[in-house]
Structure 1
Amino acid sequence: MLDSIVFPKPTLVSVSGVELEVFEAGQQNAGNPIVLCHGWPEHAFSWRYQVPALVAAGYHVIIPNQRGYGNSSRPSEVADYDIEHLAGDLTALLDHYGYDDAIFVGHDWGALVVWGLALLHPERVDKVINLSVPYLERGPKPWVEFMEDMLGGDFYIVHFNRQPGVADAVFEEHTFQFLRNMYRKNVPPSAHEPGMALINLAKSEIPRGDPLMSDSDLAVFVSAFETSGFTAGLNWYRNFDRNWHLLAGANPVIQQPTLMIYGDRDIVPKSKRLEEFVPNVDVVNLDCGHWIQQERPEETNEAILNWLEEQSAY
């Protein structure tokens, strides 16, 4: 059944001075919105397995390709991808559909955007469901500076910031190979290699582990990035320190009911202090890697729908 899913056709929606390519399903469930926010290097299509289950459960499903992705606008200025712009796109999307608030679901960078949205515009967020990337604590030092001190200049986020354009060019030169190598599961642990890990991955002719998706599904992602390139998506990373400053005045505690879904084999570390900043959180752990909703679609759907049903009982 999961292999025969038909993904909705997109429409272009004008928000905040840009156009977003939005995939929408379950319009008959108007009044019960759930917004799904993809990560990097991803696409709205990464939520394909969740759409039928959420529509069947009575939700109006809204999935934007966020700015910089797919056929959405790709502004040229790096600062146009900061958390105020990304969160502003989502609030403007709610305005477009006439909603005061919605349930927001994020994976990877999409999770960081949803965390930021809940901090900047808490009144627009009914519930939070995030996958893979936990709440990022705002410490005393800007994030890239902190990562550089802790993890060095070859750490991918530091590299994206300190050597702009370098990774972009490598990924664009090897788009198919990079995405094929990135979208894997059951990847065995490997020894640390010198250099920047994602550049090494893009240049590797032999993928490790097992394919995450079919060739036809992979082609959707490859085609999208062949059109958009990678710079706009990487510009999200180039705003980490700007976001650190922009969030300085926000109340750091997220009060909304929250579900955090981790993959036990994900390389993204779990938060040890999540409940300090997200006191109303429930945590689910699945036996998978980073691409949680694509690797374990049925378990992900079950976790989300069971949690939402529990919440509605209160």
Structure 2
Amino acid sequence: MPVVFPEPTFITINGIRMAVYEAGPKDGPPVVLAHGWPELAYAWRHQLKALGEAGYHAMAPDQRGYGLTEKPCVIREYDIHHLTADMAGLLDAFGHDRAVFAGHDWGGIMVWQMALLHPGRVAGVIGAGAPFFPRSRRDPEQVMREAWGPDWYICDFQDSRRADEAMLTNVEAIFTNQFRKLTRSYAEYQALPKEDRNRTIQKRIDPRPGRVFLSDAERQVYIDTYRRTGFTSTIDWYRNWSWNWESTADVEQKIRVPCLYIQAADDPAVPPGFGDDMEQYIDDVERYRVEDCGHCIQQEHPEEVTRAMLDWLGRKYPGQAG
């Protein structure tokens, strides 16, 4: 049975009009669900519904540049400072002091940074397929360029808008591949030649094996949206990769609120060892591993991810829903 997704509430915060999808009582403990790339708030539809039914005020925004939310034309307005300030503004708009922030993919990167840049607004962090990465000693974009060359998708984004155009021309292929069940384990992926592991935009377009784990109607939500909006404003998040690194040089890499990392066992984007050192930077972190799971963790295994979130929230979140 398809999950019924609510109509959005529109708020004006941090200079933009943002679409936010809500579930649960407005006076319930707040939980913010931050989607990744190239996704939408809709990626959290299963968890949004379940959290609302559990008594939480669950909020899933189309983030800056996505879906029904405004799309500034200036690349710098998609840096980590704007993205996290949007989340603080969202709390202000709904009258909440703090929330647990859950994020997947780019949303995961953002919510971990939320705990560093706006610690007073964060009651806890859930990284769904996204561990905490402390600030590296070198510009990570340059490291990727040296390791993989200009065709690596993040490097490609910096050099031109070829990727934006290629993705817009192949929207259906993008979202067919995005939501395919992997046909190999992470160990088997690692055994492939390097050229087969280079994550280029063309590899997002070329046909892949594996069944699609979303229904046609669910996949169509993404296809219809991105045909209308294009990809440029979402890719602009990546175009701040080096600037985000430069502009956070003085930020202490320490998180002092409870955290949960939900790991996807076979995600090619996040090797198994990533996040093994999180205890050095986080006072209280738990881990939960979802087996036989690829990158889109909360949509591929929605019930298991939801159970893990609700279990942790019930034990860790101050003022938990009753």
The answer, yes or no, to whether TM exceeds 0.5 is yes
Match of 1:279 among 275, 278, 283: 283
Q: 1:195 to 1:150 in 2, by over 3 A?
A: closer
Look up the match of 1:32.
29
Q: Which SS does the other structure have where 2:100 is aligned? A: strand
Match of 1:186 among 178, 182, 202: 182
- Kindly state the Cα deviation for residue 29 of structure 1 after the two structures are TM-superposed: 4.6
Please, which moves more after superposition, 110-119 or 274-283?
Answer: 274-283
Look up the match of 1:225.
226
Q: Which SS does the other structure have where 1:138 is aligned? A: coil
Deviations 1:88-140 (A, max 9, x none): 10000100011111110000000011011111000000010111121122122
Look up the match of 2:104.
107
Conserved? CA contact 2:151–2:200, under 8 Å: no
Match of 1:306 among 297, 308, 311: 311
Conserved? CA contact 1:67–1:81, under 8 Å: yes
Q: Percent identity?
A: 38
Match of 1:290 among 288, 295, 300: 295
Q: 1:236 to 1:56 in 2, by over 3 A?
A: same
Look up the match of 2:173.
177
- Kindly state the Cα deviation for residue 197 of structure 1 after the two structures are TM-superposed: 3.4
Structure 2, unaligned runs of 5 or more: none
Look up the match of 1:18.
16
- Count of residue pairs brought into register by the alignment: 309
Conserved? CA contact 1:107–1:130, under 8 Å: yes
Match of 1:57 among 48, 54, 57: 54
Q: Which SS does the other structure have where 1:238 is aligned? A: helix
Look up the match of 2:5.
7
Q: Does 1:211 align with 2:212?
A: yes
Amino acid at match of 2:179: Y
Q: Which SS does the other structure have where 1:40 is aligned? A: coil
Q: Which SS does the other structure have where 1:197 is aligned? A: coil
Look up the match of 1:197.
199
Q: Which SS does the other structure have where 2:87 is aligned? A: helix
- Kindly state the Cα deviation for residue 200 of structure 1 after the two structures are TM-superposed: 2.0
Look up the match of 1:247.
248
Q: 1:97 to 1:149 in 2, by over 3 A?
A: same
Please, which moves more after superposition, 247-256 or 183-192?
Answer: 183-192
Q: 1:203 to 1:290 in 2, by over 3 A?
A: closer
Structure 1, unaligned runs of 5 or more: none
Q: Does 1:118 align with 2:115?
A: yes
Paired with 1:187 and 1:143, the residues of 2 have a C-alpha distance of 29
Amino acid at match of 2:22: E
Amino acid at match of 1:118: A
- Kindly state the Cα deviation for residue 195 of structure 1 after the two structures are TM-superposed: 10
Counterparts of 1:21-100 in structure 2 under 5 Å?
Answer: 21-26=19-24, 28-100=25-97
Amino acid at match of 1:21: A
Amino acid at match of 1:178: I
Q: Which SS does the other structure have where 1:127 is aligned? A: strand
- Kindly state the Cα deviation for residue 4 of structure 1 after the two structures are TM-superposed: 3.0
Conserved? CA contact 2:126–2:259, under 8 Å: yes
Q: Which SS does the other structure have where 1:180 is aligned? A: helix
Paired with 1:19 and 1:198, the residues of 2 have a C-alpha distance of 32
Deviations 1:211-264 (A, max 9, x none): 020000000011111111111111111111111122112111111100000100
Conserved? CA contact 1:31–1:99, under 8 Å: no
- Kindly state the Cα deviation for residue 164 of structure 1 after the two structures are TM-superposed: 2.4
Conserved? CA contact 1:40–1:109, under 8 Å: yes
Amino acid at match of 1:255: R
- Kindly state the Cα deviation for residue 39 of structure 1 after the two structures are TM-superposed: 0.2
Conserved? CA contact 2:123–2:317, under 8 Å: no
Conserved? CA contact 1:181–1:201, under 8 Å: no
Conserved? CA contact 1:106–1:113, under 8 Å: yes
Q: Which SS does the other structure have where 1:14 is aligned? A: strand
Amino acid at match of 2:285: V
Look up the match of 1:148.
145
- Kindly state the Cα deviation for residue 191 of structure 1 after the two structures are TM-superposed: 5.1
- Kindly state the Cα deviation for residue 187 of structure 1 after the two structures are TM-superposed: 3.0
Paired with 2:198 and 2:242, the residues of 1 have a C-alpha distance of 20
- Kindly state the Cα deviation for residue 194 of structure 1 after the two structures are TM-superposed: 6.7
Q: Which SS does the other structure have where 2:237 is aligned? A: helix
- Kindly state the Cα deviation for residue 275 of structure 1 after the two structures are TM-superposed: 1.4
Q: 1:312 to 1:95 in 2, by over 3 A?
A: closer
Q: Which SS does the other structure have where 2:246 is aligned? A: helix
Paired with 1:95 and 1:150, the residues of 2 have a C-alpha distance of 42
